[in-house]
Amino acid sequence: MMDWNECKINNWVKEVKAGQELIDSLKIQSNKKFQTAERIITDDISASTKFCDYYDSLRIILEAIALKKGFKIYNHDCLGGFLKEILKLEKEAEEFDKFRIIRNGINYYGQDLSPENANMLIQNLIQLKKEVEEFL
């Protein structure tokens, strides 16, 4: 997980003033990703894709929360730092970072999830999303 100060130094985080309209739009996009993922049957072919869709739903919500707090984050790694340092959610930051690494393994290294593993991870993703949505 990236250190929040390192994220700021490298300009992967910028302080911004975002309007509620953008935050609301991101919430809608997150919900669309979530609803799409819910429609996918988890099997050997779809498990990794379904996990990534749920991950994207969570990531988009985190971006909306960051905007509400006055930050634009340009790096998934820095979302963990945001959770840990700004929202003071250390355990959740570590969990998000685990999800980020799995997603990167799928997207960049061709790794795959079994349906059983995907379902377990997805349940944890959904729970984390519910927890952080309270910040909106």
Q: Which residue has the tokens 């979530």?
A: 34
> Of 78, 79, 53, whose CA–CA distance to 132 is shortest?
79
Confidence (pTM): 0.96
Beta strands in the chain (DSSP E): 13-15, 71-73
8 — pLDDT class (breaks 50, 70, 90) = very high
2 — pLDDT class (breaks 50, 70, 90) = confident
Question: What is the Cα–Cα distance from 23 to 25, expressed in whole angstroms?
Answer: 5
Q: Is pLDDT above 90 for 18?
A: no
Average pLDDT over residues 34-38: 98
Task: Determine which of 18-22, 28-32, 127-131 has the lowest per-residue pLDDT on average.
Answer: 18-22
Coil, helix or strand at residue 72: strand
Average pLDDT over residues 24-31: 98
Structure confidence by residue, pLDDT tens digits, 44-72: 999 999 999 999 999 999 999 999 999 99
Q: What is the pLDDT of residue 1?
A: 83
* DSSP class of 71: E
